[in-house]
Structure 1
Amino acid sequence: MRISLYDLLTQKPLLLADGATGTNFMNMGLEPGFPPDIWNLTEPSKPQTLHQQFVDAGSDIILTNTFGANAPRLKLHKAQDDTYAINKAGAELAGQVAEAADRPVVVAGSVGPTGELFQPMGEMTMESAVAAFKTQIEGLRDGGADVVWIETMSASEEIQAAAQAAIDCGMPYVFTASFDTAGKTMMGIAPGDIHGITKDLPEQPLALGSNCGVGASDLLLSTLAMTAADPNAVVVGKANCGIPTVLGKETIYSGTPELMYDYAQLAADAGVRIIGGCCGNAPEHVAAMRQSIDDYIARNEAGPRPTRESLEATLGALVNPPLEAGAVGRRGASRRRR
């Protein structure tokens, strides 16, 4: 069953997104350095299997296997000419799983950063960035994606370029940034300022928020700043599953399903409406978040708004805390009952 993200947001107080792509693909044999996006054409059963596992775990939203499927990144593997085909196939594979589900599932077309820097630090211009993202998003649109999901961004210009490309393609969009540098993105975006990034564009996002970064505590601290800055915004929180440790070719994440259960409860109390997992989150972690969200809704009573202290007590210490004191402000309006 397919549904638009807008409609699903009107029907449910909290939505569950999926988990990790790359770290789960490594368990399926993905070699380090190989772009998983190409599997949409060469190993389609593998991304489709992962999508099915996430739907079976309870995800309301599944992200296509297209995070790095833009021409600048694919060029590193001499696959830039396949940009449209890889994205179209990625949306089709996820769409087949969504259509076979016994409940509404949204297919979100994943769009990650290009890896390029904008002028004057690099060679990318707004025009070239929009063009690169437009080719990718045309493939996602034509493959049947329901929404463009711009994620793990660090530069305002790149968010604006991807959003403009989505608008040019007639697609609704969501965007998230990674706040992994002392409470800000690598390019200096503060979480409380994220709402203004697309203010001059003709269409605004259906949701915005944070993903990836470092630990779950750090991510929720960033979402607290977002919900404090705009209590009415639809905020996304897709946290990594604890802290990674590299052991040879393998990356192990410290988080357990129990930790992600607690994370989902705290995210809901922080005002996050779209909850999910990023790196390290396997289907069992997503299933724990599904149970957490269902328990939260059934309880019909929100807990206290989290603080830095309560986040650290439950999820562990901040890995890369903000430099400024008072980074999390008070919410400007009363919180709606969940």
Structure 2
Amino acid sequence: MTNASYRTALPQMNGRTLLTDGGLETTLVFHEGIDLPFFAAYVLLDSDEGRNNLREYYARYIDIARDTGSGFMLESPTWRCSRGWGEQLGHDANAIARYNRDAIALMDELRQGAGIDEPIVISGCIGPRGDGYSPESQMSGDEAEAYHRHQVETFAGTKADMITAVTMTHAGEAIGIARAARSAGMPVAISFTVETDGRLPSGQSLGEAIRETDSTTGNAPAYYMINCAHPDHFADALVDDGTGWTSRIQGLRGNASRKSHAELDASETLDDGNPDELGRDYANLSSALPNLRVYGGCCGTDHRHVRAIASWCCN
């Protein structure tokens, strides 16, 4: 038994609002000056200094949840902690499993010491096999399930309450992760990257990707999220066609920047936008996305943005 607190009853599925963090990797690299090879934050678990950097990072967000009376989702620093990325960093499957377990143990330590009464959910973060902006190739559901099963099953043996698959660029990878999570008995949220036109990098519309994932997996995901785009990029795409796909979106991790992914990739400085404006833009999406429950940020966002989002959306 793993003694996970909320695996069978996620509070955000029962109407509770949860904040989560912002852009972990961009904050550590651009604000803290920490070198993250391949943007892999899990390597910080190797040292006391690195672990303290992670503790300090998450503590800022826990403070916001405490101040606003919100719940919180501790998203583990494991976006790059899968076998393929691990191999590039010299870590075999056993080492990758250990890093994933250690990351969840750190999240549990933070939960135990948070000192707030609202629910704190621990999520095992899974990233894409390829680039989170533009995949070199698309995976079939079967390929993605085989690739991601190792990380999913590792999380299933920890105190993680759920899995969140972040920066998914095409439906095939989402389908594979959803299948692997279902087989492991883990709730999973699927978060899609969208471009400035509101479509996935694969060219598929957001609604089509959600419908395909649901229909192929028997509605396996607990819910969906949108990540790595400014609200201006996808607000006009949130028009339901009567199938109810917009009701399946329960979380946002947007960018503060209005730049395209190509522009962000080419930029040597961080565009952190306007925190209060981003919070207002989140609030303006509430009519199109009435089931929003999880609020955080993605590239370029930090605790300032999440505090602003909380002030607009959690009061």
- Specify if TM > 0.5: yes
Aligned-residue offset at 1:10: 4.8
SS in 1 for 2:56: helix
Aligned to 2:68: none
Pairing partner for 1:178 from 158, 178, 193: 193
Pairing partner for 1:86 from 99, 103, 111: 99
Take 1:182 and 1:232, find their aligned partners in 2: how far apart are those partners? 20
Take 1:205 and 1:129, find their aligned partners in 2: how far apart are those partners? 15
Aligned-residue offset at 1:262: 0.5
Q: Deviations over 1:128-176 (max 9, x none)?
A: 5323311112222323111110111112111111111111221010001
Larger relative contact order (Cα-Cα within 8 Å, sequence gap ≥ 6): 2
Aligned to 1:163: 178
Aligned-residue offset at 1:208: 0.5
Aligned to 1:50: 57
Q: Give the counterpart letter for 1:64 in structure 2.
A: S
Alignment of 1:62-77 (within 5 A): 62-77=74-89
Q: Does 167-176 or 199-208 show the bigger shift?
A: 199-208
SS in 1 for 2:186: coil
Aligned to 1:22: 25
Alignment of 1:1-338 (within 5 A): 2-4=5-7, 6-12=9-15, 14-26=17-29, 27-31=31-35, 33-34=37-38, 35-42=40-47, 43-58=50-65, 60-81=72-93, 82-101=95-114, 102=116, 103-115=118-130, 126-180=141-195, 182-193=197-208, 194-202=210-218, 204-213=220-229, 215-222=230-237, 224-225=238-239, 229-230=243-244, 232-243=247-258, 250-271=268-289, 272-295=292-315
SS in 1 for 2:160: coil
Instruction: Report if aligned partners of 1:88, 1:141 keep a CA contact under 8 Å in 2.
Output: no
Count of aligned positions = 290
Q: What are structure 2's unaligned runs of at least 5 residues?
A: 66-70
Q: Give the counterpart letter for 2:173 in structure 1.
A: E
Q: Deviations over 1:45-90 (max 9, x none)?
A: 2222222221112262121100111111222222233211111111
Q: Give the counterpart letter for 1:29 in structure 2.
A: G
Structure number, greater radius of gyration: 1
Instruction: Report if aligned partners of 1:36, 1:65 keep a CA contact under 8 Å in 2.
Output: yes
Aligned-residue offset at 1:270: 2.5
Q: Deviations over 1:188-229 (max 9, x none)?
A: 22012123313232562111131003x23114344x236975
**TM-score w.r.t. length of structure 1:** 0.76
Distance change (3 Å), C-alpha of 1:60 and 1:172: same
Runs of 4+ in 1 over 4 A off after TM superposition: 121-128, 226-229, 244-250
Instruction: Report if aligned partners of 1:240, 1:281 keep a CA contact under 8 Å in 2.
Output: yes
Take 1:221 and 1:164, find their aligned partners in 2: how far apart are those partners? 30
SS in 2 for 1:208: strand
Instruction: Report if aligned partners of 2:138, 2:170 keep a CA contact under 8 Å in 1.
Output: no
Q: Deviations over 1:221-275 (max 9, x none)?
A: 44x2369751542432210112467799853224222112212311323223322
SS in 2 for 1:291: helix
**TM-score w.r.t. length of structure 2:** 0.81
How many percent identity over aligned positions? 20
SS in 1 for 2:215: coil
